[in-house]
């Protein structure tokens, strides 16, 4: 069986790893594809130190992002509930639906916090009433706010 070679990826490689990852591959794969395509470099002690420094910087950046997300969560939870006005028909049914963009705009107006609509999860809202919305602020931080749908 052939010996494996350790390489540090310089670019993301599908099904192998992301940039900066230390990987073990077959020598032929390294020699014939990864190194000539500038997708990886040999894992020398100096390169490994650079990888560790980059990982530490990325870890610090992720901690900072998580801290900001925690602060945003605290600010969002201070809001009692968001009121979203919609036009109403019979049996308290609203025309159209409440969208994630409506929720994002209401948060922007109430708390001056800009949240991407793609990070908001709401149930199907078709009538007046109170509903819960989940807002993903970070991979580890999720806030839950109450939405009150009222008539115009």
What pLDDT is stored for residue 1 in this prediction?
A: 58
Q: Are 117 and 80 in contact (CB under 8 A)?
A: no
pLDDT level of residue 142 (50, 70, 90 thresholds): very high
- Quick one: DSSP state of residue 21? -
Considering the entire predicted model, what is its pTM? 0.69
Domains of the chain: 5-65 (3.40.5.10), 69-151 (3.10.430.100)
* Geometric angle at alpha carbon 30, from 27 and 36, rounded to 5°: 140
pLDDT in tens, 68-110: 999 999 988 888 789 999 999 888 899 888 999 999 999 999 8
Strand order in the sheet with 129-138: 82-86, 141-151, 129-138, 120-121
Percent of the chain with pLDDT over 70: 99
Q: Are 135 and 120 in contact (CB under 8 A)?
A: yes
42: its two tokens: 């040999």
Alpha-carbon span 86 to 150, nearest angstrom: 6
What pLDDT is stored for residue 91 in this prediction?
A: 87
Helix segments in the chain, DSSP class H: 27-29, 45-78, 100-111
pLDDT in tens, 31-55: 999 999 999 999 999 998 988 898 8
- Look over the chain and give the mean of its residue pLDDT values, rounded to a whole number: 91
pLDDT level of residue 2 (50, 70, 90 thresholds): low
């Amino acid at each position: 069986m052939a010996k494996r070679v350790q390489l540090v990826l310089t670019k993301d490689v599908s099904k192998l790893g992301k940039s900066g990852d230390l990987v073990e591959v077959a020598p032929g794969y390294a020699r014939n594809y990864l190194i000539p395509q500038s997708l990886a470099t040999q894992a020398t002690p100096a390169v490994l130190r650079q990888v560790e420094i980059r990982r530490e910087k990325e870890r610090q950046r992720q901690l900072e992002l998580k801290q900001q997300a925690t602060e945003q969560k605290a600010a969002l939870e201070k809001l009692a509930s968001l009121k979203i006005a919609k036009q109403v028909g019979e049996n308290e049914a609203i025309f159209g639906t409440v969208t994630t963009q409506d929720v994002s705009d209401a948060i922007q107006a109430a708390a001056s916090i800009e949240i991407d609509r793609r990070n908001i999860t709401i149930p199907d809202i078709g009538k007046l009433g109170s509903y819960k919305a989940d807002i993903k602020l970070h991979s580890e931080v999720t806030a839950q706010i109450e939405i009150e749908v009222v008539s115009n």
